[in-house]
Chain A
Amino acid sequence: EMQLVESGGGLVQPGRSLRLSCAASGFTFDDYAMHWVRQAPGKGLEWVSGISWNSGTIGYADSLKGRFTISRDNAKNSLYLQMNSLRAEDTALYYCAKDRHIAVAGDFDYWGQGTLVTVSS
């Protein structure tokens, strides 16, 4: 069974950093691009970042202004999101999502259950 399990969320003060992880199982991880998508409480969905199968192509939402870094470790079947200079507006449920393709195509065919990040003093 395909599984994506996010971890690393929590309460963090503005300006601090947090690293999210996503552990994948049940499929050949390095055959697919992966993404982070977030959802602020009571709001809609926002794509954050995506990475191709071999990390050769990476994309970010313009709104992040270079504060976040996506990475993956295919040997560990894991996806990561390093979030720096966190702001209150980064408060959201962060989903790990699998792409249908090996490249960053934006077709999110499987999602984890999310990890909640709360940025507050």
Chain B
Amino acid sequence: DIQMTQSPSSLSASVGDRVTITCRASQSISSYLNWYQQKPGKAPKLLIYAASSLQTGVPSRFSGSGSGTDFTLTISSLQPEDFATYYCQLSYRTPRVFTFGPGTKVDIK
């Protein structure tokens, strides 16, 4: 099975900070990697698909990069509404494996 890890598991940051979250797969997954944001009591929201494509309606301060085993979600200038938990997710289609990472909680410093 392909395992997904994220680092850090949590971080504290200030409004305006540049924030980087890393996701690593236990084997190469090409660019089959998505990023989601989840706020408390709310459903997750797709931010980035295929490692680096910005979902429609998502602010451009969010960006994704990487391929193979190492991926990064970057928030260029953290806004108050960005405090949330972020999950990476494998979207490998053959076989169908849609494992989520354990999440990274971003809170206020």
Q: Chain A: residues with CB nearer than 8 A to chain B?
A: 35, 37, 44-47, 50, 59, 62, 95, 100, 103-114
Contact of A106 with B46 at beta-carbon distance under 8 Å, contacts A44-B87, A44-B103, A45-B87 already known:
no
Q: Are A106 and B43 in contact (CB-based, < 8 A)?
A: no
Q: Does B103 contact A59, Cβ atoms closer than 8 Å?
A: no
Whether B93 sits at the interface, judged by CB under 8 Å, is yes
In the complex, the answer to whether B96 meets A108 with C-beta atoms within 8 Å is no
Contacts of B43 in A (CB 8 A): 95, 111-114
Q: With A and B bound together, what is the CA distance between A111 and B55 in angstroms? A: 14
Indicate if the CB atoms of B102 and A107 lie closer than 8 Å: no
A contact residues around B55 at 8 Å (CB): 109
What residues of chain A lie closer than 8 Å to B102, measured between beta carbons? 44
Chain A residues closer than 8 Å to B49, beta-carbon distance: 100, 107, 109
Extra pairs beyond A37-B44, A45-B100, A108-B46 (4, CB < 8 Å) = A103-B93, A106-B34, A106-B92, A113-B43
Residue of A nearest to B46 (CB): A109
Residue of A nearest to B55 (CB): A109
Query: C-beta contact mask, B79-98 vs A, less than 8 Å → 1, else 0?
Result: 00000000101111100111
Q: Tell me if A107 and B100 are in contact (CB < 8 A).
A: no
Closest to B90 in A: A106
CB within 8 Å of A: which of B35-63? 36, 38, 42-46, 49-50, 55
Q: Contact between A108 and B44 (Cβ–Cβ < 8 Å)?
A: yes
Q: Does B99 count as interface, using CB distance less than 8 angstroms? A: yes
Give the most central of A95, A107, A111: most B CB within 10 Å. A107
Report yes or no: A105 in contact with B100, Cβ–Cβ below 8 A. Answer: no
Chain B residues with CB under 8 A of A45: 36, 38, 44, 87, 89, 100, 103
A-B CB proximity, top 4 nearest: A106-B91, A111-B43, A106-B98, A47-B98
